Amino acid sequence: MKLIIDTDPGIDDAMAIAYAAAAPEIHLIGLTTVFGNTHVQQSSRNARFLVHKLGLDIPVAQGAAFPWEADAHTPSRHVHGDEGFGDVIDVPEIGANHDLSAAEFLVEMARRYKKDLTVCAVGPLTNIANAMRLDPDFAQNIGQLVIMGGAVFCPGNITDHAEANIYHDAKAADEVFAQPAPTVLVGLDVTLKTLYRAVDFEELARRAPQIGGFLNDISQFYLDFYRDVAGLDGCGLHDSTAVIACSHRAMFEIHETGLKVVTDGPEVGATRPDPSRPSLQVCCDVVGQQVVDLFTQRVASLP
């Protein structure tokens, strides 16, 4: 499977990228970056740093800096820290971004690889919507679009109604869901059933001192947020669960429905079933421990 991760690293993004680098069934061919957990320039810097740390030779294409119809964005510093990696704030600038923008890169790779390409979007959907506008055939060219986002049958996490990735650009997300595409939604309905605890990070650090140790270091800030704000003993494997869903769909229970996104008012960002929209696959349950175990097994194979 040829995979592009559209990402805003981000602690759980770093975990997902590490998983993709380790998974034998995945050929990671590039990262595209977007605003979200950080400003987009930080997202790109963090992505290039992760590519270097993981020993990958893949491009990083920078994308949208702001949501549609906005000229500002406030990063989730209280969740991911000032630089996106928790208490780790000295993140070096390594390499340079690809010459193409994220949307241009996505369109080019979709034309080249077509159904062999999976795009996994783990940030706001602005780059994906931009690629769809740039090339009307983009959504039909790719093999599948797997999205970490939404809260269809459960409460949100940034508001009572909305999950953060969808909330941060509700209009772009709504346009993505309006297009017929082979789409899988991996939202809070399942990702909060894949808790990764402090002891799991410690085990990962023991088995993979370089990469696991780094993930353990950056996760402490994240674990504190989950404990203090959400009252949970562990963090959701949000983005990693989406990457795992790209190739291990049997771990998930699927509900097929169309979706629309509330784009204004007090419930902005809510993801609602809408049978008039193109059908997509919504993950509504998961064998959470299998996801946790697979994540550990794969990432523990790294240095």
Residue 52 near residue 22, CB atoms below 8 Å? no
Among 78, 238, 248, 255, which one carries the catalytic annotation? 238
* Residue 284, phi then psi, degrees to nearest 5: -115, -10
Q: Which residue has the tokens 């193409």?
A: 100
Q: What is the spatial distance between Cα 238 and Cα 165, in angstroms, rounded to a whole number? A: 11
Single-letter code of the amino acid located at 254: I
Q: What is the spatial distance between Cα 195 and Cα 193, in angstroms, rounded to a whole number? A: 6
Start-to-end Cα distance in the chain: 23
Single-letter code of the amino acid located at 174: D
Q: Which two tokens stand for residue 285?
A: 């349950």
Residue 46 near residue 85, CB atoms below 8 Å? yes
Q: What is the spatial distance between Cα 6 and Cα 145, in angstroms, rounded to a whole number? A: 11
Please indicate whether residue 238 is annotated as part of the active site: yes
Q: How far is CA 174 from CA 75, 101, 129, 167, 272, in A?
A: 21, 22, 9, 10, 10
The residue among 122, 94, 147 whose CA lies nearest residue 37 is 122
Q: Which two tokens stand for residue 47?
A: 């992505």
Q: What is the spatial distance between Cα 75 and Cα 98, in angstroms, rounded to a whole number? A: 23
Name the region of 33 (left: φ>0; alpha: ψ -120 to 50; beta: rest).
Answer: beta
Q: What is the spatial distance between Cα 303 and Cα 174, in angstroms, rounded to a whole number? A: 40
Catalytic residues: 238
